[in-house]
Amino acid sequence: MRSPRRPKLTAMLLRARLLAVASSPTPEKRRRPALSARGSTRLIVLLAGLTAVNVFVFYFRGDPKVRTSMEPASLHRSIVDDKTHQIQSIAETAGGAQPVVPSPSEPSEPDNQSRVIEGEFGKTDNLSSVLAREGFGDVALTVSAALAKVVDPKTIWPGHKYALSFDDAGLPERMEYRPTPIVTVVVLRQPDSTWVASKHEKPVEVRVQNVGGRIDSSLYGSVQNAGESPALVAMLVDLFAWDLNFYTDQHPGDHWKVVVEKRFLEGHFQGYGHVLAAEYGGKVGRFRAFRYVEGKRDSYFDEKGQAISKSFLKTPLRYVRVSSKFDLKRFHPVLHMTRAHLGIDYAAPTGTPIWAAANGTVVEAGMKRGSGNTIVLRHEGGYSSRYYHLSKFAKGLVAGRRVEQKQVIGFVGTTGLSTGAHLHFGLTLNGAYVDPMKVKGMRANPVGQPKAYREAIRPRLQALDSLDATLATNEAKKGAVQNPAQPHL
């Protein structure tokens, strides 16, 4: 009978043998240590070769640029000092001046956020849009309010320049508005984070000059031929707007004369100052105007001291031409029927500013079917003026508001029954339509001291009279150019 322990002992011996067989190295495993040892030897030899090549390149060839890039900063400074000493020794040997050797460069500080942005207003820009675009959006309202205390933001035009400054932290710090090379408005952030504006003007030289010319085709062309700016044309039109309609009253052969202030900055012409005296003469007669300051009143008067300004303007805008006159039997271009034209049509580009013809109160400002955007003003003496076909109204123009003569109330357009851009200007007296061209408004008050006035304008009268010789000389030169003398055959 077998012992019960024998199967267990046999099983244990079998398991031990299997483990011994499994742990004994196979021929393949016995070859791996030898291969590993050979690989390590080859790697060591390769690394040694590379090290030898580096030592030869960096040290035996003596390349200073590569070598210094591998050295510590203290060793690099000693080499620079040795070089400096060598340069100074050479200079001393040559007997020359000591060269200036720059010190080793130090690492530069990182740039801060302080910067200045400069630009100019575009055609579609306004103050708020520029401030928002350039990084002043968070303070746009505050800056605009401060600027408005010094200059009207509505007077900002395309081409006007600006500069915006930021502090070291990148926060808005300063704005400069430069409408002209002479004027700069500065809006500055205060320590309490409020903004304050101030206006600065560069000193300019004011010269009084006498200019004049004769008209061949238009006042505009004559002024340009005299070497003057078109701005002078606008000044003349505004000055004589109560008496002259320059698009119906001017004729070839008429003349104009002006005694005007010119402003110069560093020798460069910057614009006109005041018109001190002016004259327009020709087929319509002769008109003169002289600037005179009497107390707080700064106005223009004729030779006798009568005011140039009247209760009604001759024309309520600068226009291109009269396209239709006052006519009780006019053929309507849109309705194709005979219909009274109870006013005057002034053709002008869309957007041309329209003035109030006289001081008054706004009765109506809105859209009508036939007249388009319409304004009606009520004046003293029973008069009312009407303005039709506007493209838009001036900002804030509402019924009940008071307006002053020559104040812009709207802009030329072609709304309503209109065939093109123009202003229809009508005038009523006690409810009945009258021809605006035939209405003679009452003049403003004359000068208070006629004797003092006549004495004050005496030099201006002499200046205007002296221009007659200049005009005659210019006419003679023009005639010589147009009709050169024929050579004798």
Same structural domain, 305 and 372: no
284 and 383: one domain? no
In a domain, 286, yes or no: yes
Boundary-marking domain end, from 181, 201, 221: 201
* Residue matched to tokens 């200036």: 100
Q: Which residues contact 92 (CB under 8 A, 6 or more apart)?
A: 98
Q: Which runs of E-coded beta strand occur in 325-420? A: 327-331, 338-341, 344-347, 353-355, 360-368, 372-378, 383-393, 402-403, 408-412
**458, 472: one domain:** yes
Domain containing 363 equals 321-438
Whose CA is closest to 291, among 274, 312, 306, 268?
A: 274
Same domain, 422 and 353: yes
Where residue 132 falls (left for φ over 0; alpha for ψ -120 to 50; beta otherwise) is alpha
Let me know if residue 91 belongs to a domain.
no
Residue-level pLDDT at 12: 60
Q: What is the pLDDT of residue 79?
A: 40
Residue 140 lies in a domain: yes
- Residue 137's pLDDT is what? 92
Residues 265 and 353 in one domain: no
Could you tell me if residue 289 is inside a domain?
Answer: yes
Shared domain for 197 and 153, answered yes or no, is: yes
Is the domain of 155 the same as that of 216?
Answer: no
Q: What is the pLDDT of residue 241?
A: 85
Are residue 141 and residue 211 in the same domain, yes or no?
A: no
Given a contact cutoff of 8 angstroms between Cβ atoms, the answer to whether 197 and 187 are in contact is yes
Task: Identify whether 300 is part of a domain.
Answer: yes
The confidence score (pLDDT) of residue 83 equals 43
Q: What is the CATH number of the domain that holds 402?
A: 2.70.70.10
b/e burial code for range 160-174 (CB count within 10 A of at least 16 → b) = eebbbbbeeeeebbb
**Cα-only R_g, the chain:** 45
Contact residues for 194 (Cβ-Cβ < 8 A; gap 6+): 142
Which residues neighbour 104 within 8 Å (Cβ) at sequence distance 6 or greater? Answer: 77, 80
- The answer to whether residue 33 sits within a structural domain is no
Residue 191: the pLDDT is 94
Q: What gap in Å lies between CA 489 and CA 486, rounded to an integer? A: 9
| Size (the chain), residues | 489
Q: Are residues 303 and 243 in the same domain?
A: yes
Percent of the chain as helix, strand, coil, to the nearest 5? 35, 30, 35
CATH of the domain at 455: 3.10.450.350
Q: Is residue 44 part of a domain?
A: no
CA 35 to chain centre: 83
CA neighbor of 243 nearest in space, from 298, 280, 297: 280
Which of 175, 201, 227 finishes a domain?
A: 201
Among 201, 232, 261, where does a domain finish? 201
**Beta strand residue intervals within 124-267, DSSP E:** 161-166, 172-178, 183-189, 195-201, 205-214, 255-265
d(CA 155, CA 87): 65
The model's pTM is 0.59
For the chain of 489 residues, list the mean pLDDT of each consecutive stretch of 10: 52 55 50 54 68 57 45 40 46 46 42 79 92 94 94 90 94 95 95 95 95 92 92 91 82 95 94 96 94 92 92 78 55 52 84 92 93 94 92 94 94 89 91 84 86 96 92 74 53
| Per-residue confidence (pLDDT) for residue 43, from 0 to 100 | 66
In this structure, the answer to whether residues 305 and 348 fall within a common structural domain is: no
Same-domain check for residues 299 and 241: yes
Tokens representing 101 are 């050797």
Q: What is the bridge-based pairing of β-strands 338-341 and 383-393? A: unpaired
pLDDT given for residue 320 in this prediction: 58
Whether 455 and 406 map to the same domain: the answer is no
Structural domain total, the chain: 3
Burial class (CB in 10 A: 0-12, 13-18, 19+), 338: exposed
The reply to whether 432 falls in a domain is yes
